[in-house]
Amino acid sequence: MSELLISARGLTKKFGDFVAVNGIDFDVQKGESFGLLGPNGAGKSTTMRIIGATSQRDSGTITILGKDPEKNGPQIRAHLGVVPQQDSLDMHLTVVENLYIYGRYFGLPRKFVKGKIEELLSFAQLEEKRDAKVETLSGGMKRRLTIARALVSEPEILMLDEPTTGLDPQARHILWDRLFRLKEQGVTLVITTHFMDEAEQLCDRLIVMDKGNIMAEGSPASLIKDYSTKEVLEVRFGSDRNQEVANKLRSMCERTEELPDRILMYSDDGEALLEQIYSAELHPKTSLVRRSSLEDVFLRLTGRTLIE
Amino acid sequence: MFIPMAVAIAEARIGKRGERFYSGRVPQLLERGFIAFKSSTWMIVLSGFVEPVLYLLSFGYGIGKLLPTIDIGGQNIQYAAFIAPALLATSAMNGAIYDSTMNVFFKLNHDRVYHGMLATSMGPLDVALGEIGWALLRGFSYACAFMGVVAPLGLIQSVWGLLAIPAAVLIAFGFASVGMAITSYLTSFQQLEVINVFLLPMFLFSGSFYPLSVFPQWLQFVANLLPLTHAINLVRGLCLGNLSFSLLGHALYFVVMIICGLFFTTKRLNALFMK
């Protein structure tokens, strides 16, 4: 029997006239890795802050480990480890001091916190930087330290808001590896991202958000299965010819999406489709067959790309 | 069921007064202050102590040489003894202001330190009291150090002068609370400079270097509204042993500053982080 850690119904948050979160429903089970995928401004961070009891909803209900953030803010925050989108490390302190004092902010005894530090340093692969000032760390190191810091209170839920935004590819992969380990240890993760590869790598289940609404929900694989075809053929005819060719292409497959620089053609067999195009005497400048991704799901649902 | 220690600690506070704003973590915030202090810029720390001493030497013993004694409430005192309490009050103010404006501004807007703090089970009042508490400690140490210099010089006329130290802490508390409240509403570094523009004239026109009675009536009235005037009158009264009920009035001025400052700081932090 799985245990429900977070449950939201009709969750709504407005800033003046702007509806940031528009009556959404979702549940997060214990031990799962739950993602909120959507472009900037979709309402992901606002939702995260409501869960984190640092923002109050306008209507609807939400319980986190059975508690209402309106009444039990401090108690809910004690359950959570928060990794915000922008670093909030204490620049005047060293790596070890950051971990130590953050544990103390939860009221944890000195001995307990000191006992956790070695484990956290090794998890974050920062043993050699233990006495370094935070400002001297690279972006990837800072983010790993922020995650380690969020773990100091042994949270039941780790909240990650855009964990790899702004990191180079290598640093991203190191971070994904660390998060994967946490997932294996059974830590419940709630992750927001606008990177579809990140969502595919890390999330067991996700909601696709756009303009404060949930557009779809499911595992990455089931979302792709439900909202896209197995494969995608990307063809480029050059910006002047794309439009003209698009009409002919549309009849060849299930669905097309015309982007400014290329046309996406949805089909379960991309190679066969490409041959069909060649035999119709249409010669694309470039072509690429790939499998469908969450990006395609988002495009299907909203008509827009994730990163604009 | 396993309950993490952090949760057990937070749950123990359920039902306590103001539990949504305050979690009793001021000691932890002071601990942060000490850790950060170890690696702070010592020149800045020392300047807070050296500055009033330099004023005392140059004005008290420089200009003071040219002046006759000053008659305060029937006591004839030398000029250095007149300005020493004012310098004590001013250094308490400066220390408190530095910690509660510049430092707070950067933690709030630049390093986002409070964002991190308030994602834990602490509340905004913890942060406000912790930061202000640190400013008080600094004010307290400056006051003690300054006393250590002026008392051996014979500039403290009365044993009541010992109370000047707690008075300096009260003054630091008032300035730190109001300073942090104002800073929490500021959004740019330029606005921060405005505080300094206000501080220097206040220092010059609060009766630090001469009695307010030399001013025309209207300027005396304005000077009497300034917090530093009340700070100086309070400390001077204690150092000279001129006890009267008016000292309580001056102290009350700072109690009001503390209450208002804490109220607005907590309100603002709550609006910024718990909206």
pLDDT in tens, B15-46: 888 888 899 999 999 999 999 988 777 777 78
Q: What is the CATH number of the domain that holds A143?
A: 3.40.50.300
User: Is B130 part of any domain?
Assistant: yes
User: Is A274 part of any domain?
Assistant: yes
Cβ within 8 Å of A, B 94-133: 111-113, 115-123
Please check whether residue A122 touches B, CB under 8 A: no
Chain B's closest residue to A51, CA to CA, is B119
- Sequence-separated (6 or more) residues with CB below 8 Å from residue A203: A33, A34, A35, A37, A191, A219, A220
How many domains does chain A divide into?
Answer: 2
Q: What is the CATH number of the domain that holds A274?
A: 3.30.70.980
| pLDDT over 70 percentage in chain B | 100
Start-to-end Cα distance in chain B: 32
Q: What pLDDT sits at residue B121?
A: 93
How many domains does chain B divide into?
Answer: 1
On chain A, the residues whose CB falls within 8 A of the CB of B6 are 78-79, 106-108, 153-155
Q: What pLDDT sits at residue B71?
A: 80
User: Is B1 part of any domain?
Assistant: no
User: Is A46 part of any domain?
Assistant: yes
pLDDT in tens, B213-228: 889 999 999 999 999 9
Inter-chain contact B10–A56, Cβ cutoff 8 Å?
Answer: no
User: Is A195 part of any domain?
Assistant: yes
Considering only residues A253 and B166, tell me which one the structure prediction assigns the higher pLDDT. B166
Q: What pLDDT sits at residue A143?
A: 94
- As a whole number, mean pLDDT of residues A180-209 equals 92
- Of the listed ranges A28-42, B95-109, B170-184, the least confidently predicted one is B95-109
User: Is B71 part of any domain?
Assistant: yes
CB nearest to B23's CB, from A55, A74, A155: A74
On chain A, the residues whose CB falls within 8 A of the CB of B39 are 92, 133
| pLDDT over 90 percentage in chain A | 72
**Judgement on whether residues A201 and A121 belong to the same structural domain of the protein:** yes
Q: A86: exposed, middle or buried (C-beta count within 10 Å: 0-12, 13-18, 19+)?
A: exposed
**Judgement on whether residues A146 and A197 belong to the same structural domain of the protein:** yes
Domain that holds residue A204: 4-219
DSSP three-state, residue B148: helix
| pLDDT over 70 percentage in chain A | 99
**Judgement on whether residues A72 and A173 belong to the same structural domain of the protein:** yes
pLDDT at residue A118 tops 80: yes
Q: Mean pLDDT of all residues in chain A?
A: 91
Q: What pLDDT sits at residue A189?
A: 96
pLDDT in tens, A153-171: 999 999 999 999 888 999 9
How close does chain A come to B272, measured CA to CA in Å?
9
**Judgement on whether residues A144 and A95 belong to the same structural domain of the protein:** yes
Kindly indicate the confidence band of residue A145, based on its pLDDT and cuts at 50, 70 and 90. Answer: very high
**Judgement on whether residues A264 and A162 belong to the same structural domain of the protein:** no
Residue where one domain finishes, among candidates A185, A219, A253: A219
**Judgement on whether residues A70 and A118 belong to the same structural domain of the protein:** yes
Q: What pLDDT sits at residue B1?
A: 61
**Judgement on whether residues A145 and A163 belong to the same structural domain of the protein:** yes
DSSP, residue by residue, A106-130: TT--HHHHHHHHHHHHHHTT-GGGT
pTM to 2 decimals? Answer: 0.88
User: Is A301 part of any domain?
Assistant: no
**Judgement on whether residues A180 and A38 belong to the same structural domain of the protein:** yes
User: Is A224 part of any domain?
Assistant: no
Q: What is the interface pTM, i.e. ipTM, of the complex?
A: 0.86
**Judgement on whether residues A163 and A264 belong to the same structural domain of the protein:** no
- As a whole number, mean pLDDT of residues A34-49 equals 92
User: Is A307 part of any domain?
Assistant: no
**Judgement on whether residues A145 and A263 belong to the same structural domain of the protein:** no
Q: What pLDDT sits at residue A22?
A: 95
Cβ within 8 Å of A, B 182-221: none
Domain that holds residue B205: 41-273
DSSP three-state, residue A231: strand
pLDDT at residue A308 tops 70: no
Chain A's closest residue to B116, CA to CA, is A88
CA angle A202, A208, A209 (to 5 degrees): 125
**Judgement on whether residues A171 and A261 belong to the same structural domain of the protein:** no
Kindly indicate the confidence band of residue A258, based on its pLDDT and cuts at 50, 70 and 90. Answer: confident
pLDDT at residue A68 tops 90: yes
Q: Which amino acid is at A235?
A: V
pLDDT in tens, B78-124: 899 999 999 999 988 988 888 888 889 988 888 889 999 999 999 98
User: Is A306 part of any domain?
Assistant: no
**Judgement on whether residues A64 and A204 belong to the same structural domain of the protein:** yes
User: Is B12 part of any domain?
Assistant: no
User: Is A299 part of any domain?
Assistant: no
The strand pairing partners of A75, in sequence order, are none
